[in-house]
């Protein structure tokens, strides 16, 4: 299959490029815009209580809503507000009302807080139905401009927070993050490829081609989202950048080293490229297949966030794979050896002395290397037991210096922490009869007595008096662990147990949404992880024709996952004092670390098998495998880890944690697991590793093919001292 594909591409490179350009123009031109949402509730199925509460609110109280924006005003010197100051705040509210800012439906000035430290102005806006609607953001910008103009020259200072302001700041932060990540990713790839190949053409090749491929992938993802009604989180764009450029560069790296190897064996450029596609095609396809399967396992999730993220990244990897086997070979076959210009290093084979020395050491002491690397993984894994999830996607997606975040904190000076996003308790009549006012008053007292509840508003009745709404203000931040525990335990227990006879109670609000997300994530852990692991295990078994090797390879990858989670907990929760890690972290990390860790293990174990087939003992095979496949794994791991590390430059906690976790996980699986643990274990287990297929023994008359499979083994020639 790959032999035929390689020959077809090099015979008709112009047609391949034309097909790609035409397809790209059609897809980019006609695909819908890729939109994202920051509404965590949109990710949950309708059977969760928080979503049912939201539906009750929409039907019974269509005009009632938490303020879209909250203007927080305080004295510049931090002192208590005077009566004159409060009059100024009221005047600001009247001025904002008189300006008739588009999309602002009401402006209500509240009294100063009990301690006089802050005063708020609540601003209502329509709830947007279109994710592309910029009206809310434009309204916040206009409000901010008018507010600062009116505060100039006074003793007051202020800013705007609330959902509309947070959404605007998240969008701005996301746009800045994408620019930073894109520049850092591109710069890193160019620098590393210049160091490895010493050729500006090869260094720019991934940037130009993957830039085109990324647009094609984005269009296909948009169509998939529309077709299957998938919700995309605002962080997907950043992920697409690093996945496309990181994984795509790895695939190009494998192809180019194989191409260079064929040239060194004396083949002409077109024949060398056809041979490279034939020999590297299976490796790239199996690597991409493992990643795609791991991503698609997310479609089994109950959360809309994961349901859309998995297929989106799978589409991106599949598009990159097709480009790596068609577009890149077509371009390189046209350039020939000029692709290496001005370097002449492609003509001579490097010695690989550093990895040869490492390989000899692993071969002599496999027990020591396997034991030491396993011990490091186990120690790091212990810290994973302290993982605490954080469910604030919105706050994690915004810089700590943004106005909405700063004045969210200032708001806490005078109001309970849950004031901006109170919980809601709805009591609905089961038989459509009007609710009893006396029973509702007693019920309010019950809710007020719940530990962790600061205030409970008097009930607001629907127009037909069959539904009552109690606003419950918690004493802690609505996204905090304490708030979630309050809602999950005593608040819901009390609300359900003491609902008046003939009624049913529903607890909603953002904290309830996070509680239900946590329940959904716990369910997904039990479904997505085992399915992805089982499918990858089957792929390894079929590829290696062994019942032994796949199991210890998957165990080692599992250790790589838990060690990565432990390292992230150690850095962020213990060293930096973060209250928790973003809740999607284990799932995303599992998919990347397990899938990519399996890829690197496949590269190493395939080389181990090849060396054993040439008649070497298990220890000698391990030594030679590290010598030849080590540079490939090191170069691929370095580039991929570097691209994911660029997420840490985004300036928000969500992408910082994800960037550190994934990049450190790739370093662990590439440099610790694939280079030391896998060859060490295989050398210790010996021929039993290949039972019952005995794939380490070469069939009579079958060439070992060592000189045909050196391309990817030279993947970091500059790193090995050449």
Domain with CATH 1.20.1640.10 in the chain: 2-30+170-393+516-697+707-714
Task: Identify which has the larger pLDDT, 241 or 622.
Answer: 622
Round to whole Å and give the CA distance between 308 and 299.
7
Residue 486's pLDDT band (boundaries 50, 70, 90)? Answer: very high
β-strand pairing of 119-124 with 106-109 = antiparallel
Round to whole Å and give the CA distance between 14 and 450.
72
Give the fold, CATH level 3, of 68-161: Alpha-Beta Plaits (3.30.70)
Share of the chain above pLDDT 70, in %: 86
Contact present, 445 and 501 (Cβ < 8 Å): no
Tokens of 353: 């002395």
402 SS3 class = coil
Q: DSSP of 588-653, one letter per residue?
A: HHHHHHHHHHHHHHHHHHHHHHHHHHTT--HHHHHHHHHHHHHHHHHHHHHHHHHHHHGGGGSSSH
Which of 252-256, 267-271, 440-444, 713-717 comes out lowest in average pLDDT?
713-717
Per-residue model confidence (pLDDT) at position 174 = 64
381 SS3 class = helix
Residues belonging to the chain: 722
Which helix (H) or strand (E) element contains residue 462?
none
Give the mean pLDDT of 665-684: 90
Per-residue model confidence (pLDDT) at position 700 = 43
Contact present, 10 and 332 (Cβ < 8 Å): no
Residue 295's pLDDT band (boundaries 50, 70, 90)? Answer: confident
Per-residue model confidence (pLDDT) at position 637 = 84
Round to whole Å and give the CA distance between 109 and 495.
31
Contact present, 207 and 190 (Cβ < 8 Å): yes
Round to whole Å and give the CA distance between 36 and 171.
10
If you search the block for the tokens 């090191």, which residue do you land on? 634
Round to whole Å and give the CA distance between 551 and 689.
10
pLDDT digit string (tens) for 300-350?
A: 887 777 777 778 888 888 998 899 899 999 999 899 888 888 888 777 766
Per-residue model confidence (pLDDT) at position 410 = 82
Q: Roughly how many angstroms between the first and final C-alpha of the chain, as a whole number? A: 34
Per-residue model confidence (pLDDT) at position 449 = 92
Per-residue model confidence (pLDDT) at position 496 = 94
Residue 553's pLDDT band (boundaries 50, 70, 90)? Answer: confident
Please determine, for residue 556, whether its predicted confidence score (pLDDT) is greater than 90.
no
Task: Identify which has the larger pLDDT, 696 or 342.
Answer: 342
417 SS3 class = coil
If you search the block for the tokens 């147990």, which residue do you land on? 497
Please determine, for residue 413, whether its predicted confidence score (pLDDT) is greater than 50.
yes
Contacts of 311 (CB under 8 A, 6+ apart): 221, 224, 228, 230, 295, 296, 298, 299
Per-residue model confidence (pLDDT) at position 690 = 84
Give the fold, CATH level 3, of 2-30+170-393+516-697+707-714: Multidrug efflux transporter AcrB transmembrane fold (1.20.1640)
Residue 222's pLDDT band (boundaries 50, 70, 90)? Answer: confident
Contact present, 2 and 281 (Cβ < 8 Å): yes
User: In 297-414, where does DSSP find H-type helix?
Assistant: 304-325, 327-335, 353-364, 366-383, 393-396, 403-411
Tokens of 416: 């309970």
Which of 38-47, 191-200, 206-215 comes out lowest in average pLDDT?
38-47
Contacts of 310 (CB under 8 A, 6+ apart): 295, 296, 297, 298, 299, 301, 591
Give the mean pLDDT of 585-593: 78
Per-residue model confidence (pLDDT) at position 713 = 39
Tokens of 16: 């391949």
Nearest Cα to 556, choosing from 568, 547, 564? 564
Which of 155-164, 190-199, 277-286, 411-420 comes out lowest in average pLDDT?
411-420
Please determine, for residue 235, whether its predicted confidence score (pLDDT) is greater than 60.
no
Contact present, 491 and 507 (Cβ < 8 Å): yes
Task: Identify which has the larger pLDDT, 663 or 720.
Answer: 663
Please determine, for residue 701, whether its predicted confidence score (pLDDT) is greater than 50.
no
If you search the block for the tokens 């120690």, which residue do you land on? 379
Round to whole Å and give the CA distance between 349 and 717.
9
User: CB-based burial of residue 189 (10 Å sphere; 0-12 exposed, 13-18 middle, 19+ buried)?
Assistant: buried
Per-residue model confidence (pLDDT) at position 697 = 60
Per-residue model confidence (pLDDT) at position 703 = 39
Round to whole Å and give the CA distance between 625 and 95.
75
Residue 94's pLDDT band (boundaries 50, 70, 90)? Answer: very high
Which of 217-231, 320-334, 476-490 has the largest mean confidence? Answer: 320-334
Q: Residues 495-503: contacts with CB within 8 Å, 24+ apart?
A: 495/425, 495/447, 498/443, 498/446, 499/427, 499/443, 500/427, 500/435, 500/436, 500/439, 500/440, 500/443, 501/439, 502/429, 502/430, 502/431, 502/433, 503/427, 503/428, 503/429, 503/430, 503/435
* Count of other CB atoms within 10 angstroms of residue 368: 13
Domain with CATH 3.30.70.1430 in the chain: 68-161
Contacts of 25 (CB under 8 A, 6+ apart): none
* Count of other CB atoms within 10 angstroms of residue 384: 18
Round to whole Å and give the CA distance between 528 and 295.
10
Residue 709's pLDDT band (boundaries 50, 70, 90)? Answer: very low
Q: Tell me the backbone φ, ψ of residue 55, rounded to 5 degrees.
A: -65, -35
Which of 177-186, 475-484, 495-504, 528-537 comes out lowest in average pLDDT?
177-186
Reported as half-sphere exposure (CB side, CA atoms, 13 A), residue 522 has a value of: 8
Please determine, for residue 566, whether its predicted confidence score (pLDDT) is greater than 80.
yes
Please determine, for residue 505, whether its predicted confidence score (pLDDT) is greater than 90.
yes
Please determine, for residue 606, whether its predicted confidence score (pLDDT) is greater than 80.
no
Average pLDDT along the chain: 81
Please determine, for residue 18, whether its predicted confidence score (pLDDT) is greater than 90.
yes
Angle between helices 163-197 and 236-264 (to 10 degrees): 10
Task: Identify which has the larger pLDDT, 420 or 103.
Answer: 103
Nearest Cα to 266, choosing from 206, 363, 347? 347
Residue 236's pLDDT band (boundaries 50, 70, 90)? Answer: low
Contacts of 557 (CB under 8 A, 6+ apart): 593, 594, 597, 598, 601, 669, 673
Round to whole Å and give the CA distance between 160 and 168.
11
β-strand pairing of 389-390 with 581-582 = parallel
Please determine, for residue 195, whether its predicted confidence score (pLDDT) is greater than 60.
yes
Residue 582 CA: distances (Å) to CA of 394, 466, 511, 633:
11, 39, 15, 29
pLDDT digit string (tens) for 167-194?
A: 787 777 666 766 777 787 778 878 888 8
């Amino acid at each position: 299959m790959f032999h035929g594909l390689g020959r077809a591409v090099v015979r008709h490179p112009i047609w391949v490029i034309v097909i790609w350009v035409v397809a790209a123009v059609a897809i980019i031109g006609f695909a819908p815009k890729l939109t994202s949402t920051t509404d965590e509730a949109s990710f949950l199925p309708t059977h969760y209580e928080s979503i049912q509460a939201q539906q009750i609110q929409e039907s019974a109280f269509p005009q009632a809503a938490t303020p879209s924006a909250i203007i927080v005003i305080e004295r510049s010197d931090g002192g208590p507000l005077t009566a004159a100051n409060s009059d100024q705040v009221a005047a600001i509210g009247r001025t904002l009302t008189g300006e008739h800012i588009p999309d602002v439906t009401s402006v209500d000035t509240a009294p100063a807080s009990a301690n006089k430290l802050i005063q708020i102005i609540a601003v209502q806006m329509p709830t947007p139905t279109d994710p592309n609607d910029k009206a809310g953001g434009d309204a916040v910008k206009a409000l901010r401009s008018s507010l600062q103009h009116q505060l100039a020259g006074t003793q007051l200072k202020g800013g705007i927070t609330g959902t509309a302001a947070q959404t605007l700041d998240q969008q701005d932060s996301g746009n800045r993050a994408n620019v930073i990540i894109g520049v850092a990713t591109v710069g890193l790839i160019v620098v590393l490829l210049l160091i490895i190949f010493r050729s500006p053409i090869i260094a720019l090749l991934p940037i130009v081609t993957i830039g085109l491929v990324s647009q094609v992938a984005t269009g296909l993802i948009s169509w998939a989202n529309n077709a299957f009604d998938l919700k995309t989180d605002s962080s997907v764009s950043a992920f697409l950048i690093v996945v496309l450029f990181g994984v795509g560069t790895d695939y190009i790296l494998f192809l180019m080293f194989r191409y260079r190897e064929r040239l060194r064996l004396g083949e002409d450029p077109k024949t060398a490229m056809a041979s490279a596609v034939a020999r590297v095609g299976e490796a790239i396809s199996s690597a991409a297949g493992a990643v795609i399967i791991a991503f698609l396992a997310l479609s089994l999730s109950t959360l809309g966030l994961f349901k859309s993220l998995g297929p989106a990244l799978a589409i991106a990897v599949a598009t990159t794979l097709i480009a790596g086997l068609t577009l890149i070979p077509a371009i390189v076959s046209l350039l020939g050896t000029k692709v290496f210009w001005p370097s002449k290093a492609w003509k001579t084979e490097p010695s690989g002395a550093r990895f040869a020395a490492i390989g000899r050491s692993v071969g002599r002491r496999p027990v020591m290397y396997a034991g030491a690397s396993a011990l490091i993984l186990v120690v790091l894994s212990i810290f994973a037991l302290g993982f605490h999830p954080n469910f604030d996607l919105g706050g994690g997606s915004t810089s700590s210096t943004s106005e909405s975040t700063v004045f969210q904190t200032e708001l806490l000076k005078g109001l309970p922490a849950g004031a901006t996003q109170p919980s809601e308790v709805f009591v609905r009549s089961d038989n459509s009869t009007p609710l009893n006012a006396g029973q509702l008053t007693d019920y309010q007292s019950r809710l007020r007595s719940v530990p962790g509840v600061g205030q409970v508003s008097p009930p607001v009745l629907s127009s037909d008096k069959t539904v009552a709404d109690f606003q419950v203000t918690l004493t802690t931040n609505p996204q905090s662990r304490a708030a979630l525990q309050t809602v999950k335990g005593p608040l819901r227990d009390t609300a359900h147990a003491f609902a008046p006879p003939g009624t049913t109670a529903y607890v909603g609000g953002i904290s309830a949404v996070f509680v239900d997300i946590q329940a959904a994530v716990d369910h997904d852990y039990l479904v997505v992880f085992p399915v992805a692991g089982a499918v990858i295990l089957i792929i390894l078994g079929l590829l290696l024709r062994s019942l032994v090797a796949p199991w210890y390879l998957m165990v080692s990858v599992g250790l790589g996952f838990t060690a990565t989670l432990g390292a992230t907990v150690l850095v962020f929760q213990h060293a930096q004092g973060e209250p928790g890690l973003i809740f999607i972290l284990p799932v995303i990390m599992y998919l990347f670390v397990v899938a990519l860790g399996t890829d690197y293990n496949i590269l190493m174990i395939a080389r181990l098998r090849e060396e054993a087939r040439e008649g070497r003992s298990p220890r000698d095979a391990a030594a030679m495998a590290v010598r030849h496949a080590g540079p490939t794994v090191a170069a691929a791991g370095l580039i991929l880890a570097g691209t994911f590390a660029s997420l840490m430059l985004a300036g928000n906690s969500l992408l910082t944690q994800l960037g550190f976790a994934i990049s450190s996980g790739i370093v662990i699986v590439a440099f610790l697991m694939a280079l030391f643990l896998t060859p060490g274990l295989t050398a210790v287990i010996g021929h039993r590793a290949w039972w019952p297929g005995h794939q380490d023994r070469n069939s009579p008359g079958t060439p070992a093919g060592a000189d045909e499979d050196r391309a990817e083994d030279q993947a970091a020639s500059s790193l090995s001292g050449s």
